[in-house]
Amino acid sequence: MCLLADNIAKLSIFAQILEKMFSSAIRSFLLQKQYPFFHPKAVFFDMDGVLFDSMKFHASSWVKAMNAVNIPFTKYEAYMNEGRTGHSTIDDVYHRLLGRGASEEEKRKIYSLKSAYFEACGPTPKMAYAQELLDKIKTKGYDIFLVTGSGQPTLINSLQEHFPGVFQKEKMVTAFDVKHGKPAPEPYLKALQKSGVCPWEVVVIENAPLGVEASVAAGLFTIAVNTGPLEPEVLAKNGANVVLDSMEQLFREWEPFEDSWK
Ligand code: MG
């Protein structure tokens, strides 16, 4: 009985510490943006590395596709470039290595190789606790949007199959909807426009440095979940308001997060 009381007390202290961490992040956000208040009505989800545990497949596919045309490329670079559209990633590498942009033909060839390698990886697993978090958020009445730099049709199409009844087409922004993908703010600004809510009424869930950069540039409160191999400091440096270790942590800490602004 004593042990139970002790554990309850410890949990309560832990919840208070979390609430303080979230409150402090929200205070800094409001001060910096000069918004009137923070009261989320919508949650914008990135897809790869957040809803799907797909980044390991993307990273190895990028390395194989680049190496196939004799371009050195590492998995770490793939993680650092995550969020960009495929063509932009290829263009960026060409600029860095060859001092020129890639031609349309080069971009088409490398991206189709990358897509083929990705398809060959087989079915992409859901990220652990993505379903649980979506269920919780949906039950609580938040509007749910998808904002992805992906142009991988199989993944986008399989959202319905993996997360039935959660994502509607009119509540998605993909690589096909934007001129300037992440790290530009356009995908998040487009989602903001579609949702009809104010910037202080949104929470973004991202895992990639460039995704965080895009969301922050759009003026949105950004929670980074570090589901890949990057150092958490990289996500904080790119402007994430809060950095958590996993989707499981975000699922478990959603209530202390709500308590900090409600
Ligand atoms: Mg991602």
State in Å: Cα 51 to ligand 1 middle: 8
Instruction: Please give the residue range of the domain that contains residue 84.
Output: 55-120
As a whole number, mean pLDDT of residues 87-109 equals 95
Half-sphere exposure of 199 (CA within 13 A, CB side): 18
pLDDT in tens, 107-119: 999 999 999 999 9
d(CA 179, CA 156): 18
End-to-end, the C-alpha distance of the chain in Å comes to 33
Residue with tokens 């997360």: 163
Last residue of a domain, one of 92, 120, 148: 120
pTM of the complete model: 0.90
Q: Which range, of 11-15, 86-90, 187-191, 242-246, averages the lowest pLDDT?
A: 11-15
Domain boundary among 96, 120, 144: 120
CA–centroid distance, 83 to ligand 1, in Å, is 6
Number of structural domains (the chain) is: 2
Q: Does residue 90 share a domain with residue 173?
A: no
Q: pLDDT higher for 124 or 61? A: 61
How many angstroms is it from 88 CA to the middle of ligand 1?
15
Sheet containing 172-173: give its strands across.
172-173, 143-147, 42-45, 202-206, 221-225, 242-244
Same domain for 134 and 112: no
Average model confidence (pLDDT) for the chain? 93
Number of neighbouring beta carbons within 10 Å of residue 113: 18
Residues 105 and 146 in one domain: no
Q: What is the pLDDT of residue 1?
A: 53
Distance 206 CA to ligand 1 centre (A): 6
Q: How many angstroms does the Cα of residue 47 sit away from the middle of ligand 1?
A: 6
Q: Say whether both 132 and 194 belong to one domain.
A: yes
Indicate whether 21 belongs to any domain.
no
With beta carbons less than 8 A apart as the criterion, state whether 29 and 241 touch. Answer: yes
pLDDT in tens, 186-212: 999 999 999 999 999 999 999 999 999
